[in-house]
Amino acid sequence: MSARTVKTRLVWAISLLAALAILAVGQREHARATAATEAVRPLGSLKTVAVPRPSRVSEFVRDETAAIALGKALFWDMQVGSDGVQACASCHFHAGADSRSKNQLNPGAEGGDFTFQTGGPNYQLEPADFPFHRLADPDDRLSTVQSDSNDIASSQGVFMSRFVDVIHGSAQDLANHQSDPVWNVHGTTVRRAAGRNTPTNINAVFNFRNFWDGRAQNDFNGVNPFGSRDPSAYVLKALDANNPQKVRVSLDNASLASQAVGPALSPFEMSADGRSFRKIGRKLGRKMEHLRPLENQLVAPDDSVLGPISNYPRPGLKTSYTSMVQAAFDPVWWQSPAIITLDAHGEPLFSARPDRERTTDEYTQLEFNFSLFWGIALQMYEATLIADDTPFDRFMEGKASALTVEQQQGLRIFQDKGRCVNCHGGPELTDASVASVKEQRIERMAMADGAMASYDNGFHNIGVRPTQEDRGVGGSDPFGAPLADSVLARRGLLLPAKLDAPIGRNERIAVDGAFKTPGLRNVELTAPYYHNGGQLTLLQVVEFYNRGGDFRENNIDNLDADVRGLGLTTVEKNALVAFLKGLTDERVRWHRAPFDHPQLFVSDGHPGNQSSVTAGRSWKAVDKLREIPAVGARGYARPLPDFLSPVS
């Protein structure tokens, strides 16, 4: 061995020992600081965490590779939306999130405000609009407020309309125009924007619940996001092919499946109001000559999942959705020859296939159960979207040089002075993870005002906006029950997990205005930030925490105790930002496998601005569509622009 080799290895070993010492000191300091509040899972490489998996998935899926292919096709297919434009991917095409910046505002409708403040319908956001709560001194929350807006930087979806029916052979549903009093420019209707900023779906499989307010339950009922909260949810199982039976489904570790069935029927995101999943199944679940999967979208021949069935250089896939479902799922969920209709009470009726073209209210078992296939297939696909090869992950695996000296300083701040790890702990960098919540679903902790309270693990009020504007997990589900597990436990409807004592009838609950803690990998790519999209840059995010949030005094009854002034210097703030940039998986930036995908055309506002818009022949504004090119496993030659970066 040469002297140079010995010296190189010695330097590497010393660097590794120093890095491990830095990590150990930070974790000891953090442990002392949090001993009186809550347990925090140690940081680590995400490669050390098993991907959460439904324990009974084999009862439904017979070919996981086929299920992943089905899920990817459905996720990216524009035909799924009522308008033939909106796909799931329309809001998740950039690092799993949305980088569009025109016609992306919601006026704060969740809190009852329908008046825009930052801009208006079809407004083009600008860097100068951020942060939405602007202070004279960004490190002092009590300094002069220069401007404030409760608007939400979100994602545009569909035009306001009422579903009538599907049309044989058409990607567009028949829908009636509804006058939109909010999203219009001088009477011309524009696309609506959802009520919260779009979170990334990358690594979302690690979340115990999904959506910002946690309404997508860990248990999937095969029909909607609400799991066992909806006792009326059922699908049809055909153990006897001629006699399908109503059955209830409960699939654990399936919050992504629960989440997936929400947007497809949302009158803001993808659907005309009043559409059902049976109708989506009726539209897509026909023979290939009617609607080929990804009919109008190119699929790269080297797509890491869909390449073998790509129809390239022509659009679409060389198969049908019916064939894809049958290949992926056990026949008991689709094999019945019976035709199913619904009676006046919504109960299924079974009959022989008619000797004529079926009406759109006559379903096969496959069409009737389409929500089941949709949810599970999308979960199977999204479970492959794991970003675990960041500089931080490599550093945690023992490569000391993976993080720069500045980033290592940022990591120390992340763990101790910044208190970031108190909510962004564990290898997943979130206490909303399956591993964290299953360990302790409900926690007790001293809140910002010093009083003890119970709250849902993984959900925190950090003072982004006044609590009353959006209650988050403190809200209710469609059945009138509270979304918060801790409230259910206080009512005796949920057994508290690992609490030292049951929650008393009068015990304080701190859930109002609390939102799910997001994981932080690829955060560099997913601006704007928080549930309201009110911060543009990572430095603005760090300044927010440095000043102790924006609405501490307003939210004090529910505010997390760790949201208080940090006293970071300029050097420390920059180091923390540098560390956060060390959480980027370059495969995500460049759309390399498994983050490659079909071609997509996204609505990118409308020609004109918030004062004047180009109207089409009908009641709605003309769409401006932007192409997201198809990309194969090797990724793009140049990355897509980030939020508010120039579009080439």
Domain segments of the chain: what residues?
A: 27-51+388-583
- Please count the CA atoms within 13 angstroms of the CA of 191 that sit on its side-chain side: 30
Asked if residue 399 has pLDDT above 50, the reply is yes
Asked if residue 9 has pLDDT above 80, the reply is no
pLDDT in tens, 611-635: 999 998 778 999 999 999 999 999 9
DSSP string, 470-490: --BTTSB-TTS-BS-HHHHHH
CB within 8 A of 312, min separation 6: which ones? 298, 299, 300, 301
The Cα–Cα gap between 283 and 361 comes to 11
Asked if residue 416 has pLDDT above 70, the reply is yes
Closest CA to 79 of 375, 288, 333: 288
pLDDT in tens, 478-536: 999 999 999 999 988 887 767 767 888 889 999 999 999 999 999 999 999 999 999 99
Could you tell me the pLDDT band of residue 646, with boundaries at 50, 70 and 90? low
- E strands in 132-279: 133-135, 145-148, 152-153, 161-165, 174-177, 184-185, 188-189, 235-237, 245-247
Could you tell me the pLDDT band of residue 37, with boundaries at 50, 70 and 90? very low
DSSP string, 28-59: HHHHHHHTTT---PPP--GGGSPPP--TTGGG
3-state secondary structure 552-604: CCCCCCCECCCCCCCCCCHHHHHHHHHHHHCCCCHHHHCCCCCCCECCEEEEC
3-state secondary structure 569-580: CHHHHHHHHHHH
The per-residue pLDDT for 289 is 52
The per-residue pLDDT for 19 is 46
The Cα–Cα gap between 516 and 25 comes to 29
**CB neighbours (10 Å) of residue 19?**
20
In this structure, are residues 561 and 446 in contact, taking their beta carbons and an 8 Å threshold?
A: yes
Could you tell me the pLDDT band of residue 246, with boundaries at 50, 70 and 90? very high
> Strand 339-342 relative to strand 348-351: parallel, antiparallel, unpaired?
antiparallel
Could you tell me the pLDDT band of residue 241, with boundaries at 50, 70 and 90? confident
Angle at CA 115, nearest 5°, toward 111 and 120? 120
Asked if residue 6 has pLDDT above 50, the reply is no
Instruction: Identify the CATH number of the domain defined by range 27-51+388-583.
Output: 1.10.760.10
The per-residue pLDDT for 134 is 98
**What is the CA 617 to chain-centroid distance, rounded?**
35
Angle at CA 563, nearest 5°, toward 557 and 564? 105
pLDDT in tens, 166-222: 998 899 999 999 999 999 999 999 999 999 999 999 999 999 999 999 999 999 999
